[in-house]
Amino acid sequence: MKGADTVAELVRRQWGDHRIGLRDEHHTLSHHEVAAGAAARAALLVDLMPPLPGGEPHLGILLDNTPEYPLWLSAAALAGAAVAGINPTRRGAELARDIRHTDCRILVTQRAHLPLLDGLPLPGLRILVTDTDAYRELLAPYDGARPGDATLGPVRPDSRFLLSFTSGSTGAPKAALCSQGRLAAAGASLATHFSVRPDDVHYVCMPMFHGNAVIADWAPALCAGAGVALRARFSASGFLPDVRRFGATYFTYVGRAVQYLLATPPGPDDHAHALRLGFGTEAGAVDAARFRERFGVPLVEGYGSSEGGAAIQRTPDTPTGAIGRAAPGDDLAVLDAETGKECAPARFSPEGRLLNTDEAVGELVNRGRSPFEGYWRNPEAEAVRLRGGWYWTGDLFYRDEAGFLYFAGRTDDRLRVDSENLAAAMIENILARWDRAAGVAVYAIPDPVAGDQVMAALALRPGAVFDPAEFAAFLAAQPDLGTKMPPRFVRVTRELPLTATNKIHRVGLREESFLCGDPVWWRPAPTGPYEPLTPEATAALQEQYARHDRTPTWDRRRG
């Protein structure tokens, strides 16, 4: 597999390749047709958006996963423009802010998303609506274009290419920058690591405005000359039918997608497909094992972000529950954020419980050369990431004596219960073993006096009911569940609230705490039985919070 310095070079390689390159439910394009379509759009782009001083011009893409999305990504690469992926779950002023913040001069969208733009202050923005006759007429004169015919300027490895918004679960999302060279290198690395072949088919079911789908799914396919199959929006029930229809061999996932796939009714032909690998984050060891048993497909947990500031490489000897070791040449450390000192190696009980959470869990930091390329016009956010010449990931980890790294959640997911530090992700991994749970989220709510209490939201499997005694017995039987880890409050919900990238929307859960519309069970005494949280008990708790000048909502707990 010959490497490429830019994404544009990878797109040009598709010219003349008449194998199937891009499919969805309604369209089939060869690699050659993808390159030709990209060349036509690049030529249109150059005519509509002449270059300005100050670098690559920006276009926004507000689309579902239709063929137009990778076609416009490829067109931008050829033309030397940069793409801002716009999240269609954003609304009103927030959506307008994302488009204006990234200085988009053109927005590519579809008719279904036009109502989102009604009345928004977007002066000077040119909108192209892909599923209209006007768009097809606008594109028609460029049908004969060839890759490289039309550019906005020199296309180099350091040419800005992606502006990928972070999830935005806390404050306004930041637009992380990614150059053509970094994306091409990331795609080549994954293609090599997973032995991607030209006859593979990458199933893209995660949203393409997010870095996971572009960096971990589309880019390695492009590097290896593999095919790409698209799903407009993730569907658990449509997953296996799509995989079979397209002959998919590889897919990526984020957040709770795996839990939703496991919650679908099992069938006798669950192994009847060509999938050989899934790659993603936050599935958890329990769900990964269940997925492999049910579908015969191994899931490889990775670690990465839109920023690309640190990478962890999984090796065959990686222990269960670990992500892997630092990639060769990287200097990753787990540091105490307050002192900057390296945390102690993790110590485990014979049952696998982390014994020294307080001294072992810290923030993952890259002390070496980081590929982080910054945020678009956000020096404050860059300063948070780059402190003392190091890249601080904002993620909690711990490291064992052999150097293997274990994910423990976001820095915001740390809990402090009775002066003991806990990590939400570690408790979630244990609660996920309960066979009635389809999804689990663990988060901190304020203790009425000081510190935090543990709250869990449980989405149950179809037909399951919450049995408090059975749940308590399950907790008591888990050998690696520390005495401070069992949830004091349990929210039983039909489904967990998710962001557009299938990650749990923890901010909303924290803000609602036990003051929500779902049934809540709690332990009045920390080791007692679970009881329904009645209106009377709720009122008594609120009184207790008021006496200590605290509230049960996480974002105001220090006030």
Q: Is 67 contained in some domain?
A: yes
Domain CATH for 114 = 3.40.50.980
Domain count, the chain: 3
Mean pLDDT of the chain: 91
The backbone torsions φ and ψ at residue 120, rounded to the nearest 5 degrees and listed phi first, read: -80, 140
Q: Is 440 contained in some domain?
A: yes
Q: Is 240 contained in some domain?
A: no
| pLDDT one-digit tens code per residue, 305-320 | 778 888 888 888 999 8
Domain boundary (376, 393, 412) is at 412
State whether 464 and 339 are in the same domain. no
Max avg pLDDT among 90-94, 349-353, 497-501:
90-94
pLDDT of 481: 87
Between 482 and 160, the more confident residue is: 160
In DSSP terms, which residues pair with 279 in a beta bridge?
252, 300
pLDDT of 550: 79
Structural domain for 181, as ranges: 7-191+214-220
The backbone torsions φ and ψ at residue 232, rounded to the nearest 5 degrees and listed phi first, read: -55, -45
DSSP string, 218-280: IHHHHHHT-EEEE-SS--HHHHHHHHHHHT--EEEEETTHHHHHHTSPP-TTTT-S---EEEE
- Closest CA relative to residue 308, chosen from 375, 252, 363, 259: 375
Output the six-digit token pair for 137: 């007429």
Q: Is 267 contained in some domain?
A: no
Q: From CA 180, how far away is CA 159, in angstroms rounded?
A: 6
DSSP 3-state assignment of 425?
helix
Task: Report the 10 Å Cβ neighbour count for 144.
Answer: 10
Torsion angle, alpha carbons of 335, 558, 431, 473, to 10: 130
State whether 355 and 403 are in the same domain. yes
User: Could you tell me the end-to-end alpha-carbon distance of the chain, in angstroms, rounded to an integer?
Assistant: 57
State whether 338 and 397 are in the same domain. yes
User: What does the pLDDT average to over 460-469?
Assistant: 93
In this predicted structure, the answer to whether residue 234 has a pLDDT above a threshold of 80 is yes
In this predicted structure, the answer to whether residue 281 has a pLDDT above a threshold of 60 is yes
Strands (E) located in 424-517:
437-446, 452-460, 489-493
pLDDT of 347: 94
User: What does the pLDDT average to over 283-307?
Assistant: 88
pLDDT of 199: 97
Q: From CA 435, how far away is CA 137, in angstroms rounded?
A: 55
Categorize the per-residue pLDDT at 34 as very low, low, confident or very high, splitting at 50, 70 and 90.
very high
State whether 378 and 449 are in the same domain. no
Using CA atoms, how far residue 328 sits from 310, 325, 386, in Å, is: 11, 9, 21
Lowest mean pLDDT among 84-88, 196-200, 259-263: 259-263
pLDDT of 559: 32
Q: From CA 510, how far away is CA 490, in angstroms rounded?
A: 13
State whether 393 and 439 are in the same domain. no
Encode 545-557 in three state secondary structure. Answer: HHHCCCCCCHHHC
State whether 59 and 162 are in the same domain. yes
Q: Is 257 contained in some domain?
A: no
Between 324 and 311, the more confident residue is: 324
User: What does the pLDDT average to over 554-559?
Assistant: 40
Task: Report the 10 Å Cβ neighbour count for 369.
Answer: 10
Q: Is 271 contained in some domain?
A: no
Contact 322, 303 (CB under 8 A): no
pLDDT of 1: 59
Q: From CA 95, how far away is CA 92, in angstroms rounded?
A: 5
In this predicted structure, the answer to whether residue 423 has a pLDDT above a threshold of 90 is no
- Closest CA relative to residue 216, chosen from 281, 289, 309, 287: 281
Categorize the per-residue pLDDT at 144 as very low, low, confident or very high, splitting at 50, 70 and 90.
very high
Scan for tokens 């102690």, then name that residue.
344
pLDDT of 45: 97
DSSP 113: G
State whether 322 and 338 are in the same domain. yes
pLDDT of 172: 73
| pLDDT one-digit tens code per residue, 45-54 | 999 998 777 7
pLDDT of 558: 36
Percent of the chain topping pLDDT 70 = 97
pLDDT of 168: 46
pLDDT of 556: 37
Domain boundary (412, 447, 476) is at 412
Q: From CA 217, how far away is CA 226, in angstroms rounded?
A: 10
| pLDDT one-digit tens code per residue, 466-487 | 999 999 999 999 988 888 899 9
State whether 32 and 178 are in the same domain. yes
pLDDT of 413: 78
Contact 69, 213 (CB under 8 A): no
State whether 104 and 146 are in the same domain. yes
Using CA atoms, how far residue 550 sits from 170, 194, 451, 528, 536, in Å, is: 21, 51, 11, 25, 19
Contact 42, 71 (CB under 8 A): no
State whether 74 and 174 are in the same domain. yes
Q: From CA 68, how far away is CA 148, in angstroms rounded?
A: 19
CB proximity list for 182: less than 8 A, separation 6 or greater:
308, 371, 373
pLDDT of 537: 94
Sign of the CA dihedral 497, 500, 505, 507? Answer: negative
State whether 360 and 432 are in the same domain. no
Burial 293-305 (b: 16+ CB within 10 A, else e): eebebebbbbbbb
Q: Is 306 contained in some domain?
A: no
Q: Is 264 contained in some domain?
A: no
State whether 431 and 551 are in the same domain. yes
Percent of the chain topping pLDDT 90 = 71
Domain boundary (361, 392, 412) is at 412
In this predicted structure, the answer to whether residue 131 has a pLDDT above a threshold of 80 is yes
Categorize the per-residue pLDDT at 43 as very low, low, confident or very high, splitting at 50, 70 and 90.
very high
In this predicted structure, the answer to whether residue 178 has a pLDDT above a threshold of 80 is yes
Domain CATH for 354 = 2.30.38.10
